[in-house]
Structures are given as structure tokens and as C-alpha cells.
Amino acid sequence: MLSMRVAKTISITLPPELLAKAQMIAKRENRTMSELFRETLRHYKSPDPEWEALKAWGLEHGKALGINSEEDVERMSDEWRAERRLAAGR
């Protein structure tokens, strides 16, 4: 028995600037809007090995520095900026 692929039509809303950008990309890549959005969803749901490796590296090195939360990052950034201002004599 042959199985037929059945596509469903959906409707989405986009801000005008995002729609224009999507149309420009689709035209540049000779794709339909449907193809563009299908490809976007495939990328969205599949992990990027490079990004996953970078996240793992960042978590490992962050923990070594005592960074356990976004608040720690903010605090360390503020401390670094204060040190820079002091060094510059401001």
C-alpha cells in the first residue's frame, strides 16, 4: 500500500519587517515560504553540535570561576567595569 504524504495548511502572523526579511531570504535562496519555514523548524528542533559544545565549555569554565547564575555574571561584569573605571582614573 502506498502512503501519501498529507500536508496541512496553517496561517501565521508576522510583523511586517520579519515578513519582508523572510520573503527576501526565500527569494534569494529560490525557495517557497513553506520550504523556508519547514527548514527553519528543522533547525530549531535539532541541536547544533558546535553550539552544544560551546555551552558545555562555558558551563564548565563558569563553574570553575564560581559562576552559578546570571546574577553572578552580572556581579562579575559590574566588578570588572568598576576596576576598569578605577584603572582609567574616572
Could you give the C-alpha distances from 19 to 35, 36, 48, 50, 89, in angstroms and in order?
Answer: 14, 12, 25, 29, 48
Q: Tell me which residues of the chain have a pLDDT lower than 70.
A: 1-3
Please state the pTM of the whole predicted model.
0.50
Could you tell me if residue 4 is inside a domain? no
Please give the pLDDT value at position 45: 85
Structural domain boundaries, residue 56: 49-88
CA 69 to chain centre: 20
Per-residue pLDDT at 4: 74
- Residue 54 sits in the same domain as residue 82: yes
Nearest-10 crossing angle of helices 16-28, 33-45: 100
Same domain, 40 and 53: no
Same domain, 56 and 81: yes
Cell of 33: 515560504
Look-up of cell digits 525557495: 31
Examine residue 27 and state whether it is found in any structural domain, yes or no: yes
Domain count, the chain: 2
> What pLDDT shows up at residue 60?
92
In a domain, 2, yes or no: no
pLDDT given for residue 32 in this prediction: 95
* Same domain assignment for residues 57 and 39: no
Q: Specify the amino acid at residue 60.
A: E
Give the per-residue pLDDT at 1.
Answer: 58
